[in-house]
Amino acid sequence: MVARPGCVYGTCGPRRWGAGRGCREWTEFPRREDDVLARWWLGRCGRTSLAVLLCAALALLTACSASEGAGGGGADSDNQRYISGSGEVQVVPVADREPAPRVRGTSLTGERVDSKTYDGKVLVLNFWASWCAPCRSEAEPLQAVYDETKPQGVRFVGINFKDNKTNAGVFVDEFGLTYPSIYDQPGETALAFRGQLPPAAVPSTIVIDREGRIAARVIGETTYTKLFKVVRQVADE
């Protein structure tokens, strides 16, 4: 499902979607990609510092509402609303690149993952969830690009966002993903990219060059051809 158009920028309209959750009326702010969403979530989620941080992260990747899934913390695939990207690729010129934030966490299999481990390599971060239909469509192409580019010093790490851990594990097994995925239920990794090239849709893919700088971003579902081209371009620099 796709988010209601008014929920990304501007106001959500006069209707509320349910007591205690969903869209609320709010005053329109300047249309910046991340700040607008973060300020809306600030009004929705409360004003304690922790709530603000977590809600801002969620705002980068989700639209106005997400129903609670079974198993505590999962998302119901029938009710989940998310920002659907176009698959557009943005490559950052070498001279304009900024250092990527450090990414670390615990994988779905319980292992520690730290982007510092991949210093000197090209690192591809894919933000995904098992309830996201475009994520399912791009899973096999992602694995294929990983297999093809690994000999050139490319590594992949998935960022599993706002998902049920069991469902995420089933997803990994179903598509035979061999690279690790960090389980990031609250969306803290996304928050770390604010002010740079945030993963503003589910799925999103960010490519980090060998110098640890953000080199490219794909917003929305990618394909083998599209991702292979940009990853090889960065790897060959």
In the chain, which stretches have pLDDT less than 70? 1-85
- Inside any domain, residue 9: yes
Indicate whether 116 and 27 sit together in one domain: no
Exposed, middle or buried by CB within 10 Å (0-12, 13-18, 19+), for 70? exposed
129 and 22 inside one domain: no
Asked if residue 69 belongs to a domain, the reply is no
Q: Are residues 117 and 53 in the same domain?
A: no
Question: For position 194, what pLDDT does the model report?
Answer: 86
72 domain residue, yes or no: no
Residue at 208: amino acid letter: I
> 30 is in which domain, residue-wise?
5-61
pLDDT of the residue at 84: 57
The confidence score (pLDDT) of residue 83 equals 53
Q: How far apart are CA 85 and CA 203, in angstroms?
A: 8
The pLDDT value recorded for residue 32 is 42
Q: Show which of 24, 45, 61 is a domain's final residue.
A: 61
Spatial separation of the C-alpha atoms in residues 198 and 208, rounded to whole Å: 13
Supply the pLDDT for residue 225.
96
CATH number assigned to the domain comprising residue 122? 3.40.30.10
Q: Domain count for the chain, please give it.
A: 2
Same domain, 215 and 128: yes
pLDDT at 107: 97
Tell me how far apart the alpha carbons of residues 202 and 85 are, in angstroms, rounded to a whole number: 7
